Chain A
Amino acid sequence: MNIELFFQYLVAGVTYGTIYAIVAIGFNIIYNTTGIINFAQGEFVMLGGMTAVTLHAFLPLPIAILSAVMITMVIGALIEITFIRWLISPSVLRMIIITIGISILVREIALHIWGAGVKALPYFSGTAVSAISIGDVHISPQVLWVIGVSAVMVICLNLFFTYTLPGRQMRACSANRDAARLCGINAKNMVTLSFVLSAGIGALAGCVVSPITYVQYDGGTALAIKGFTVAILGGLGNSMAAVAAGLLLGILESFSIWVMPTAYKDVISISILLLILFVRPSGLFGSKEAAQLKEF
């Protein structure tokens, strides 16, 4: 047991955890409005990263990121309007299958636009090797960026869902769509808004993590699987819980590498997920519809 080593593993865990968490937040928004899991969330992350890399060729970094987020939001809206909006009271299962289809479609389109190569934004501050060192513990400044952006996101979302009218309307749609409609809420617009929001958050996440993880046309799926795990662990719909669960999972994985071969890392995360699903599914899942979801 070496105290510096302990902290280095902790830092590694925090790095994993924040990446998982920032992706997980996107899942929660669409869930909050529609009660479905958007399996194309990983593709929003990828689109954000890819678009930002492309734009950064001729725009300064902050503007490139901002534009990439905007573009992805528009794409999110188009996807919802094209594939989901016109459906008359679609079942949860049907919407989920649609999002899986969208994810495959977006991936293939991205392959044609950007090819299969690996791309990345530059580090926001410093370079790939720079690290903030405290004794023999090193942390990449980009990790701090990811933590900072996640924190701002969570705070803003909580404020949005608690205090603003559209935020409350979106939550009303999730709780009971018919009742919300009777109160004069345009449920269809709320669903579109939720896709726009989560596309934007996914894109921002994609930009912030891309210096660390790189972005590739099919890179969104891998991130989405972990993000999904974390979103469920923390309790769907709750962004704050997603961050806590992300950090918990990341740190557990990191320490598992200390004592066990790396190959078992995913065994840990999947075991925890299964355990949570078996032991307290109802506590973590708000609605009955979503409880059916965990069967796959």
Chain B
Amino acid sequence: MKVAKLAVLLLAMTLMVVSPVLAKETIKIGAILAVTGPAAFLGAPEEKTLVMMVDDINKKGGIKGHALELIVKDSGASPEKALSFAKQLIEEDKVLAIIGPSTSGETMKIKGVAEEGKTILLSCAAAEVIVNPVAKYVFKTPQKDSYAVIKIFEEMKKMGISKIGVLSSNTGFGKAGKEQIEKLAPEHGITILVNEVYDKAASDLTAEVTKLKAANVQALINWSIEPAQSIVIKNARQIGFNGQIFQSHGFGNIKYVEAALPAAEGVIFPAGRLLVADTLPNSNPQKAVLEKYKKEYEQKNRGEEVSTFGGHAYDALLILTKAIEKAGSTDKEAVRNAIENLKGVVGTAGIFNFSPQDHNGLDINSFEMLTVKNGKFAVLPEPKAKKK
């Protein structure tokens, strides 16, 4: 008995000593994601995506022989939790990079910690302030919200719309979008007649849309990521608002469309191409990447439909992988420099071209204008015929 125990112990000790010599050291990657809580629709697909990708990479022998170790921390969308997890990952786990957080508020909270700890941060959150002004170690993969706003305004110009009403929720996402709309409207010749902020838990918005209708706006832009974005379009159509409805890129989840059918028909919003991957022409450089991710994700998660949010995590790990390969080392500094010089990485959100001034790497063409047709997402046909 005693001998057996000793033998096992001895074996374990030899393994511990020997294993690093046999294989190259593993690369530790942290991920702070809102897997549960109010932003779970962001964090949950992001986590599933990362787990799927890391499994896949390790099966194929890792990155240049280095296996990946993914450490996921569930922040529940709380900036305070994100902060303590970030410290833990940087100081105790000594990770090479952190993917996430899922929301802009959390990212801004830990931006400073990542900078101080000289640890790469690849945020999956949208707000432009994350990378503007540029912080040395902070990058982000979703498209900037200012591009979404510009896309919408350009579409409005084509449709001859100049008087609009703006609704947004009182979250970080809603606030950032509202600021961009207010900032960019004058230079695009758009006048905001009504500008309202509603509670993120709003259960009915009839009075808000009544105010819009009374002001005779030609179109409505709603900026939120909550169920309220379905409620808005439903209430607007119920009271007989006939103007065009625009939504933010937060609308890119088919569940919100289903919840608001048939009111959701004809809603226009900017989004990455993942949602319409199957309808893209074969010449589109993103098509192969998008279809591969969509197929793998939906197979792995029993038919759960892919969302653009999981795609942001996909892009983050893809960029990190490419950078490690390019740097040829796992040194934080070398990998960071490699990310900054990555060009032409085809991801789910678009084609990334990083530079020391641009830590997002995407241009405005990474957004496509989509619409809802027969209960499904479709690319907005061009030129747009005016809606009745």
Q: What is A's interface to B at a CB cutoff of 8 Å?
A: 2, 5, 8-9, 11-13, 15-16, 19, 111, 115-120, 127-131, 133, 136, 138-140, 209, 212-214, 216, 218-219, 222-223, 253-254, 257-258, 261-263, 265-266
Q: Are B203 and A223 in contact (CB under 8 A)?
A: yes
Q: Are A213 and B260 in contact (CB under 8 A)?
A: no
| B263 part of interface (Cβ distance < 8 Å) | yes
- A129, B232: Cα distance in complex, Å: 11
Assuming A213-B203, A263-B170, is B239 touching A138 (CB within 8 A)?
yes
A16 CB contacts on chain B under 8 angstroms: 203-204, 206-207
B109 to chain A, nearest CB (A): 22
| B51 part of interface (Cβ distance < 8 Å) | no
Q: Which residue of B lies closest to A20 (CB)?
A: B203
- A255, B237: Cα distance in complex, Å: 20
Contact with A along B256-290 (1 / 0, CB 8 A): 10011111000000000000000000000000000
Interchain CB contact (< 8 A) of B207 among A13, A129, A218, A222: A13
A2 CB contacts on chain B under 8 angstroms: 214
Q: Are B231 and A214 in contact (CB under 8 A)?
A: yes
- A127, B41: Cα distance in complex, Å: 26
- A120, B199: Cα distance in complex, Å: 20
- A223, B170: Cα distance in complex, Å: 17
Q: Are B240 and A15 in contact (CB under 8 A)?
A: no
A99 to chain B, nearest CB (A): 20
- A177, B259: Cα distance in complex, Å: 47
| B227 part of interface (Cβ distance < 8 Å) | yes
A216 CB contacts on chain B under 8 angstroms: 227
- A111, B34: Cα distance in complex, Å: 14
Q: Which residue of A lies closest to B239 (CB)?
A: A138
Interchain CB contact (< 8 A) of A133 among B196, B208, B210, B240: B240
Q: Are A212 and B262 in contact (CB under 8 A)?
A: no
Q: Are A261 and B197 in contact (CB under 8 A)?
A: yes
Q: Are A116 and B238 in contact (CB under 8 A)?
A: no
B68 to chain A, nearest CB (A): 27
A13 CB contacts on chain B under 8 angstroms: 207
Q: Are A138 and B238 in contact (CB under 8 A)?
A: yes
**A–B pairs, 16, beta carbons within 8 Å:** A5-B210, A12-B207, A19-B204, A116-B36, A116-B41, A117-B255, A118-B256, A118-B259, A214-B230, A214-B231, A214-B259, A219-B201, A257-B207, A257-B210, A262-B198, A265-B199
Q: Are A262 and B238 in contact (CB under 8 A)?
A: no
B23 to chain A, nearest CB (A): 37
Q: Are A11 and B208 in contact (CB under 8 A)?
A: no
Q: Are B203 and A262 in contact (CB under 8 A)?
A: no
- A57, B348: Cα distance in complex, Å: 33
A259 to chain B, nearest CB (A): 10
- A15, B202: Cα distance in complex, Å: 12
A184 to chain B, nearest CB (A): 44
- A138, B231: Cα distance in complex, Å: 16
- A208, B230: Cα distance in complex, Å: 18
Contact with A along B173-200 (1 / 0, CB 8 A): 0000000000000000000000011110
B40 CB contacts on chain A under 8 angstroms: 111, 115-116
The interface centre, meaning the residue of B41, B197, B210, B214 with most chain A CB atoms within 10 A of its CB, is B210
Q: Are A129 and B211 in contact (CB under 8 A)?
A: no
Assuming A11-B206, A136-B240, A213-B203, is B197 touching A128 (CB within 8 A)?
no
Assuming A118-B227, A257-B211, is B203 touching A8 (CB within 8 A)?
no
B207 CB contacts on chain A under 8 angstroms: 9, 12-13, 16, 253-254, 257-258, 262
A257 CB contacts on chain B under 8 angstroms: 196, 207-208, 210-211
